Chains A and B, each alone.
Chain A
Amino acid sequence: MKIVVCAKFVPDATADRRFRPEDNTVDRAGVDGLLSELDENAVEAALAIKEAGSGDGPDMEVTVLTVGPEQAADAVKKALQMGADAGVHVVDDAIHGSDAVATSLVLAKALGKLEPDMVVFGMESTDGTMGVVPAMVAERLGLPALTLGSEVTVDGSTVRIRRDGDASSDTVEGTLPLVLSVTDAANEPRYPSFKAIMAAKKKPVQTWALSDLGASADEVGGSVAWSRVTGVTARPPRTVGTIVTDSDGTGAAQLVEFLSTNKFI
């Protein structure tokens, strides 16, 4: 059974994240980046399925697939350190500025080449936070999509998830090959051990360009994106409010007075 985890290299949320002034696209090259935290849950889910050995077929292999600039190799490296067996990095200058629709096209073409039994995604990226790419890839590949699983069980070729919606908690079932996405509640991603970090250095990583996928540069990138950011404004910093201490026991009274003055009561 071949599992491919789609993982994204994102700007570090704890550092400065910004847009490129010339085209209003996300600056991915000039900032610190890392494997999206939510994709660590996807890697962990794939590794857990491999280790449980409950999947279809004896030869379990986990490949991590990323689409992104040169630096995105760091996201592949992190997944290999966690325990993935191999990596594929699709890198091509023409891809910069792609919207989710174009990204899903590149991923679908790469997955067409890899022919996995299962494709695993995190719930959303921590930068774009759209959460739409798993559904788009499933749509393009015509595969069942078990999305937003907070609990995953694999029994041969049958996969089940628990999906916690706003109104109900559902059990959803599908048969391989399929697309799976997991939430941050699905598992606790492991920290790579020193031994695993050393072993990752020997794992194979392929680098593909658009031409390797049979994709053309005029299908992707910012110039053909189906949506466009027309304006970017940094949010003004919040003005510093009133801070009181409860050391004299009047904190509650002052709090309620504030709420009352502002008509919340």
Chain B
Amino acid sequence: MSNILVLADHVGGTVRKTTAELLTIARRLGEPVAVYIGDGVESALPALGQYGAAKVIALTNPELSQYLVAPKAEALQQVAQKVEPTAILISSSSEGKEVAARLAVKLESGLITDAVDVQSGDGGPVTTQSVFAGNYTVQAKVTKGTPIITVKPNAVTPEAAQTAGTQPEVEELDVSISDVAKTARITASRPREATGRPELTEAAIVVSGGRGTGGDFGPIEAFADSLGAAVGASRAAVDSGWYPHAYQVGQTGKTVAPQLYVAAGISGAIQHRAGMQTSKTIVAINKDAEAPIFELVDFGVVGDLHKVLPAATDDVKNRKG
């Protein structure tokens, strides 16, 4: 069976949900081999095994985390030469896409980014992407080299493998990192403050606020917490300094496709629609009945979010008891 290389995305040994999704997809294409970069591979093994990694290649060279992107691409190239995979799957984070970009040049292989689905096809994987602000769905395939595909969060529901419970075989590999890859040095790193809410791109429900909040995200956060949702913000809100850039949903921020997206006080400009248009169910609250967001919604309330959301928050809490 052919090897499918999966770059595990983790924070300090805790495997992110996207890795489980990548492994689930990898099993459709062949036998998943996970690449784990950094310390703490032991704590990641149960999750990697549960989702079907037959083997885990652990890379612990310190250079891999001291410099930006380039060393990781060099390491993956060396792993690929050894494992000879028929496809390489990486999560569509900003770092993941850059690692994939460099790898494509190194391996002289085609690259597809931001896949929302990957299926096995004749002559290699067939990807589905949502493009032009979600207005088109395109199928694509790689026609040269080893297909390198970056996959967006929530592309599939992670499914445990039949082999779940088997501990994967671990191989520690010492890779060599060239001087040219050690030129963008990370001199400081400040972990992002934990909010206690789900990760924006992974959340099943997202509640976002825009200009209509007038700068007060209290009602947005309270409603999000009543639903166990992540909080997002429109560019207008972020540009006004009302909410951090890391939470921006839209063309120049995060693209989300949750089960439920709630847009409160957001008019629905193309910039914002590009980031949320493919959400399964869309709800909007806006004072302006003419706001373009209402063209997208499954359910809309024409009203003041400062009145509607607090009342809805209380109602949800009561129903949940």
A-B contacts counted at CB < 8 A amount to: 264
Q: Which residues of A contact B111 (CB under 8 A)?
A: 99-101, 130, 132, 226-227
Residue of A nearest to B12 (CB): A167
A136 in the interface, Cβ–Cβ < 8 Å? yes
The secondary structure that dominates the B interface is: mixed
Q: Which residues of A contact B187 (CB under 8 A)?
A: 160, 171-173
Q: 1/0 per residue A246-265: CB within 8 Å of B?
A: 11010111111011101011
Q: Could you tell me how many residues of chain B have their Cβ less than 8 Å away from some Cβ of chain A?
A: 91
A169 in the interface, Cβ–Cβ < 8 Å? yes
A57 in the interface, Cβ–Cβ < 8 Å? no
Q: Which residues of B contact A71 (CB under 8 A)?
A: none
Q: 1/0 per residue B221-253: CB within 8 Å of A?
A: 000000100000000001000000110000110
A227 close to B142 (CB less than 8 A): yes
CB proximity of A81 to chain B, nearest CB, Å:
22
A52 in the interface, Cβ–Cβ < 8 Å? no
Contacting A at CB under 8 A, from B173-226, are 180, 183-192, 199, 205
Q: How far is the CA of A147 from the CA of B319 in the complex (A)?
A: 47
Residue of B nearest to A14 (CB): B270
A144 close to B303 (CB less than 8 A): no
CB proximity of B262 to chain A, nearest CB, Å:
9
Q: How far is the CA of A148 from the CA of B126 in the complex (A)?
A: 29
Q: 1/0 per residue B60-97: CB within 8 Å of A?
A: 00000000111001000000000000000000011101
B171 in the interface, Cβ–Cβ < 8 Å? no
Q: Number of contact residues on A: which range applies? A: 35 or more
Contacting B at CB under 8 A, from A126-184, are 126-127, 129-136, 138-140, 142-148, 150, 160, 163-175, 178, 183-184
| Stretch of B28-36, B41-49, B51-59, B291-299 on the interface side | B291-299
Known: A127-B132, A254-B301. A170 touches B137 (CB 8 A): no
Known: A139-B102, A174-B184, A251-B301. A148 touches B320 (CB 8 A): no
Q: Which residues of A contact B137 (CB under 8 A)?
A: 232-233, 235
Known: A226-B110, A226-B144. A174 touches B316 (CB 8 A): no
A34 in the interface, Cβ–Cβ < 8 Å? no
B304 in the interface, Cβ–Cβ < 8 Å? yes
Known: A135-B102, A168-B191, A183-B252. A150 touches B245 (CB 8 A): yes
Question: Which of B180, B192, B307, B311 is in CB contact (< 8 Å) with A166?
Answer: B192
A142 close to B180 (CB less than 8 A): yes
Chain B residues within 8 Å of A, Cβ to Cβ? 11, 68-70, 73, 93-95, 97-98, 100-102, 104-106, 108-114, 126, 130-145, 180, 183-192, 199, 205, 227, 238, 245-246, 251-252, 259-260, 270-271, 274, 278, 281-283, 285, 289, 294-304, 307-312, 315-316, 319-320
Q: A127-B132, A242-B298, A255-B312 are known contacts; what are 11 more A-B pairs with Cβ within 8 Å? A: A101-B105, A132-B104, A168-B192, A229-B138, A235-B130, A243-B300, A244-B299, A247-B302, A252-B310, A253-B315, A265-B227
